[in-house]
Amino acid sequence: MFKSSTLAIPEVGPVPRHIAIIMDGNGRWARKRHLPRVAGHRKGAEAVRATVRGCAERGVEYLTLFAFSSENWRRPADEVSFLMDLFVNALEQEVAKLHENDIRFRVIGALERFEPRIQALIRDAEALTRDNARLTLTVAANYGGRWDLMQAVKRMLAERPGSAQSFTEHDLGRYLAMNDAPEPDLFIRTGGEQRISNFLLWQLAYTELYFTDTLWPDFDAGALELAIQSYRRRERRFGRTSEQLHEKLAGRPLVSGTG
């Protein structure tokens, strides 16, 4: 398990190790073209392929995509069912390609709400790709940040009932859905809204946030590059002062409590 950014200061490089994306704006992309919303979702799936490729080529190690939130069940039934079909198609048709490209595939979220057939496809895809090392692609489906925190607390207390008074951040972190990945370095939300929409609430504590008006179906290699360039200009202080960071770069030891 990776140390949390509040317990130890992470190493920071020019390429984000972990990028997390809220892929938003499919419906508006379609509406602009007088197409049904679902046409935007279909086009959005192409943007997923380009982004996975772009991240693998740049040496990003973890890519986490918000595909369906725990609140997206509130949408019209026909849109929900179209999104489920798109998910099934992607699982059936893309997983072999991911495997060929040494990409590990994972799904996080309350999967029990999905049809058994979808759950089986997910299990098979995860098993097939589990030892791949180039990039870990995690899809958040029926995922919510609050669900994640709640399920982690419940599982921890069920396994370790005595820990209610004494558990640490590190103990709880082991039960969170993303426990095998470092916290995201860069968060991207397309589609112009500036909110988290119940995505990774715990893990985004020190993530750099990037919002773009580009609608998800239009997000391509150039748009990914702009996001990474913006990330490179950020100063990640994790609570320290800018002066401390410059001293560290000059090779002097950093005086700090942890990390």
145 touching ligand IPE, by CB under 6 A: no
230 touching ligand IPE, by CB under 6 A: no
DSSP 110-166: -GGGS-HHHHHHHHHHHHHHTT--SEEEEEEEEE-HHHHHHHHHHHHHHH-GGGTTT
Shortest reach from residue 227's CB to Mg ion, in Å: 18
- Show which residues are catalytic: 24, 72
231 touching ligand IPE, by CB under 6 A: no
Q: Which helix (H) or strand (E) holds 188?
A: strand 186-189
- Cβ proximity to ligand IPE, 141 vs 172, nearer residue: 141
201 touching ligand IPE, by CB under 6 A: no
Distances (CA, A) of 135 to 129, 143, 237: 11, 21, 26
Binding mask 78-97 for ligand IPE (x = CB under 6 A): -----x--------------
248 touching ligand IPE, by CB under 6 A: no
Apex 96 CA angle, 93 and 97, nearest 5: 90
Identify the residue whose tokens are 């140390």. 3
- Cβ proximity to ligand IPE, 22 vs 95, nearer residue: 22
Per the CB < 8 A criterion, the answer to whether 149 and 173 are in contact is: no
Name the closest residue to ligand IPE (Cβ): 27
- Cβ proximity to Mg ion, 62 vs 210, nearer residue: 210
Distance CA 149, CA 213 (A): 30
Identify the residue whose tokens are 């209610």. 164
27 touching ligand IPE, by CB under 6 A: yes
Shortest reach from residue 199's CB to ligand IPE, in Å: 7
193 touching ligand IPE, by CB under 6 A: yes
Shortest reach from residue 219's CB to Mg ion, in Å: 14
Q: At what angle do helices 37-58 and 77-100 cross, to 10 degrees?
A: 20
Q: Residue numbers of the site for Mg ion (CB under 5 A)? A: 24
Shortest reach from residue 74's CB to Mg ion, in Å: 12
Per the CB < 8 A criterion, the answer to whether 49 and 66 are in contact is: no
Residues in contact with ligand IPE by the rule CB under 6 A: 22-28, 66-69, 72, 83, 191, 193, 195, 197, 216
